[in-house]
Amino acid sequence: MTDKTTSATVLVIEDNPLNMELVCDILDSYNYRVLRSERAEPGISLAQEHLPDLVIMDISLPGMDGLTATRLLRSDPNTRNIPVLALTAGAMRGDERRALAAGCDSYISKPFEIDVLLREIERLLSNRLREGTS
């Protein structure tokens, strides 16, 4: 991890408690600032309020799903450039394609390896740093 990325703020939107704990524990241990929401609507509010550096978005959520939430983030000028990393169900064929079509930058299929998740987080954050404030 580089110093630049360790202070980044990551918003996790995930309804599964075990997955939420796993992802947040990983982020905590690498000194990311973590915001969390178990549902899409309050998650979008958190994104608008805090403008995190990255959103990790579960696709399957009760009520509004992660695809709809991603489209809403993309339609708001304030949040449209925040990278979104989708957590997709590997068994659900087409989930990955739908995630990208909705505007997610990339996806990780569940169950995922911790190393894979961390690498993808770092990659998306470094893209964002390279692009500067645009």
Rounded distance, CA 114 to CA 127, Å?
Answer: 20
CB of 16 to Mn ion, least distance (A): 5
Nearest to 60 by CA among 107, 28, 105, 122: 107
CB of 32 to Mn ion, least distance (A): 21
| Contact by Cβ (8 Å): 51, 6 | no
CB of 106 to Mn ion, least distance (A): 18
| Contact by Cβ (8 Å): 12, 36 | yes
Chain residues in the site for Mn ion (CB under 5 A): 15-16, 58, 60
Please say which residue, 16 or 109, places its beta carbon nearer to Mn ion. 16
CB of 130 to Mn ion, least distance (A): 31
Please say which residue, 57 or 73, places its beta carbon nearer to Mn ion. 57
Please say which residue, 111 or 132, places its beta carbon nearer to Mn ion. 111
Tokens describing residue 129: 């740093």
CB of 110 to Mn ion, least distance (A): 9
Please say which residue, 58 or 120, places its beta carbon nearer to Mn ion. 58
| Contact by Cβ (8 Å): 59, 86 | yes
Please say which residue, 17 or 132, places its beta carbon nearer to Mn ion. 17
Compute the CA torsion angle 119, 121, 122, 124 (nearest 10 deg): 120
- State which residue has the least CB distance to Mn ion: 60
